[in-house]
Amino acid sequence: MSGKEKIEIDEDTEMPSRAWEGIRVHQQYIKGPHLDPSTPITEDKIRFVCISDTHGKIERSPLCMPPGDVLLHAGDFTMRGQMKEIEKFDSYLGYLPYKVKVVIAGNHDLTLDDDLSQLNMESFGISKSDIKTHLKSKGIKSVKQMLSHAVYLQDSSVSICGIKIYGSPWFCLSGHGDISGGDNNSGCVELLNTVQKRVKPKYHVFGHIHEGYGVTSDGYTVFINASICNKKYQATNPPIVFDYAIPEGHNKEELLYMDKDF
Ligand code: MN
Ligand code: MN
């Protein structure tokens, strides 16, 4: 993260579609790239398998998951973050063959949010004392620890074979994969600016806007909206895969020793 540019609040922050119109004329908007999941996996690249917005559906009717090294789940793995849902999701993760599974929370995964008030939880039918009782019975201290098969990121990062992955539950880009309700962008202009002007990642994997499923690029960053569920919460979209070259000095064997560190 060199040259930290300060991202100001955009004057059209309340109107992301209008903001995107202004941004779009100054940059490329490319569909793809798409990697065919049947492409052979090689030793010099990590095959990432991206999913999000599974909302408890893949556990019940497992999707055909493509082969890969690392799974990235970009949030919304439950409907309401109930203990049962998280347990099911974690055991599904345990059953998947990927060597490392990286997970972030989404706005649906309510109980992962430490700041959510009692009142908000109760409006979703979740009681904090039930959570406490549940955690106590499992001998663990936090809901995050229920994700025993995952590397859970929350405004934090992990290095996998020298590849840095940063995970944050804050969401919704403006302009890439955020068209909902017809033609309207529903993303956040400042997040797009942060990604394009400050962080400049090679890949940005996210979800939330189910209708925005797919891959686009601005010529530098590849934007992957990996929503498995469609607008009706049916798991219809296949996972999206991409390969990332392993940096010099690292190799795939490191994947086998990752679990011990978390
Ligand atoms: Mn969702
Ligand atoms: Mn969401």
The answer to whether residue 54 is domain-embedded is yes
Domain assignment present for residue 206? The answer is yes
Q: Which ligand does the CA of 170 lie closest to?
A: 2
Domain tally, the chain: 1
Q: Per residue of the chain (262 residues), what is the pLDDT tens digit?
A: 445 678 888 888 888 898 888 888 888 999 999 999 999 999 999 999 999 999 999 887 767 899 999 999 999 999 999 999 999 999 999 999 999 999 999 999 999 988 777 777 888 888 888 899 999 999 999 999 999 999 999 999 999 999 999 999 876 666 778 877 677 887 888 888 888 888 899 999 999 999 999 999 999 999 999 999 999 999 999 999 999 999 999 999 999 887 544 4
Q: Token match 């203990």: residue?
A: 83
257 CA from centroid of ligand 2 (Å): 32
Residue range(s) defining the domain that contains residue 236: 16-260
The predicted structure's pLDDT at residue 262: 47
pLDDT value, residue 4: 65
User: Which bound ligand lies closest to the C-alpha atom of 210?
Assistant: 1
Measured from the alpha carbon of residue 169, the closest ligand is 2
**Residues in the 5 Å CB sphere of ion ligand 2:** 76, 106-107, 208
Confidence at residue 260, expressed as pLDDT on a 0 to 100 scale: 45
Ligand nearest to the backbone CA of 107: 2
Q: Does residue 2 sit within a domain?
A: no
Q: Residue 66 C-alpha to ligand 2 middle, in angstroms?
A: 24
106 alpha carbon, closest ligand: 2
CA–chain centroid gap for 217, Å, is 17
122 CA from centroid of ligand 1 (Å): 20
Asked if residue 167 is part of any domain, the answer here is yes
Ligand approaching nearest to the C-alpha of 213 = 1
| CA of 206 relative to ligand 2 center, distance in Å | 10
Q: Is residue 10 part of a domain?
A: no
According to the model, what pLDDT value does residue 19 have? 87
Ligand nearest, relative to CA of residue 110:
2
CATH number of the domain at 224, please.
3.60.21.10
Q: Which of 256, 156, 176, 185 lies closest to 217, judged by CA?
A: 176
Buried b (16+ CB within 10 A) or exposed e, 35-57: eebeeeeeeeebbbbbbbbbbbb
Q: Is 65 helix (H, G, I), strand (E, B) or coil?
A: coil
Residue 4 lies in a domain: no
What is the distance in A from the centroid of ligand 2 to the CA of 93?
A: 20
Residue in the structure block whose two tokens are 């690392």: 70
Is residue 3 assigned to a domain?
no
